[in-house]
Amino acid sequence: MICATQAQATSHAVPRRRTIRPARAVCRLTIAINDRDYQVHLNPAEASAARKAYRLSKADGTAYDVAQHLSPPRGWRGPKGSGEGLDHPHPGPPPARGRVYHTCDCPDFIFHRDGIDPEGCKHIKALVAYGLLDPTE
């Protein structure tokens, strides 16, 4: 049997203060490109080198670095016949304001898309589609 003093003591007890730890979020971003999963990692970009930079990694260890630049990157060839980039003997006009340039170190971009296809390789197209990179135009 509980006496009145015990009941009063328990009803007026000060609640114990709970310590709340800082929120912690462990997350991973995976995108699928043509039925292949890629882990997306943010690559710290130097302000002079790239505005945004990501590393896409496949499960087999293959990784590609994709970046967005506000000015043509070193060695940029420019679209054929445009008069821009290294295929023109004289420097062309300054880049259009607001224009972005994308690069990827995958073989498809290096050998087939760089300076030819302004939309870039599948890695660039996927990051633009997901909103991680800005569109070129």
CA 75 → CA 15, 24, 115, distances in Å? 67, 42, 10
Q: Is 18 part of any domain? A: no
Who's near 99: CB < 8 A, 6+ residues apart? 70, 136, 137
- Is there a domain that residue 10 lies in? no
- Whether 136 is in a domain gets the answer no
* pLDDT at site 34: 95
Average pLDDT over every residue of 26-51: 86
Judge whether 7 lies within some domain.
no
Compute the distance between CA of residue 91 and CA of residue 135 in angstroms, rounded to an integer: 24
* 123 located within any domain: yes
Task: For residue 64, tell me if it sits in a domain.
Answer: yes
Domain that holds residue 94: 24-129
CA dihedral 49, 41, 130, 133 (to 10 degrees): 0
pLDDT higher at 82 or 32: 32
The domain total for the chain is 1
Instruction: Please give the share of the chain, as a percent, with pLDDT higher than 70.
Output: 69
Please check whether residue 13 lies inside any domain of the structure: no
Residue 68 lies in a domain: yes
Question: Average pLDDT of the chain?
Answer: 79
